[in-house]
Structure 1
């Protein structure tokens, strides 16, 4: 887990190597700083398509390239950073109040997401302008 609370960080997940193939596991409140309330995954994303395009008011997530690769673009209103995820034993922890967009999906890519809360539409900023206004209000 990250040593200090940052808006995002890469988390190295445990790997149990075996000649038959590797195994990685994730335990909520141990490997990631929240209990896992929801799991979902993105797959069969058409070439050139983009996903996400939102921010969360409270929810935190861990994004993992379970298969293939993709890029995650993050923006907290102060800084922007892009991560290329392509290893199943590394996750991108994204905390609340971070705008995220995911693109550049390879063929067969699967983006696995572990979330700190169940789905709640009222937790989303769907408009970048609304997100920016909320960041300014937090000031």
Structure 2
């Protein structure tokens, strides 16, 4: 019996492979547990179409993230924070502050994706790393000014 593996099966193969297995193993275990489908021409064609669709969606997602990266790297972000008596900031600038400032400028990024190397406690120009996914990182430059 030929089966198309839907999920990786240890000691048999990876998802997408067509394997020849014994009838009982194929029907009673692989197909019954949802690890495989009987490898008919229709099932194989449907699997190929699904893989094409997934590849197209991933390519579109990567293109969208690359566009977002360009927007982030060209953005001039200014964060204003209240100053203390000695000229230092009240508190530190965090990834939440950066995410809020981006939201005000029309770009919505989750604060968990923004990484600042060290605590920002003074005015000046700084850089943050934004992890967008699919291995795409953007360097976000921003300026901190006092109110």
TM over 0.5: no
TM-score class, shorter-chain normalisation, is under 0.3
Larger RCO, structures 1/2 (Cα 8 Å, 6+ apart): 1
User: Which structure shows the higher strand fraction?
Assistant: 1
TM-score by length of 2: 0.26
Q: Could you tell me the TM-score, scaled by structure 1's length?
A: 0.27
* Structure 1 or 2: more helix by fraction: 2
Bigger Rg over Cα: 2
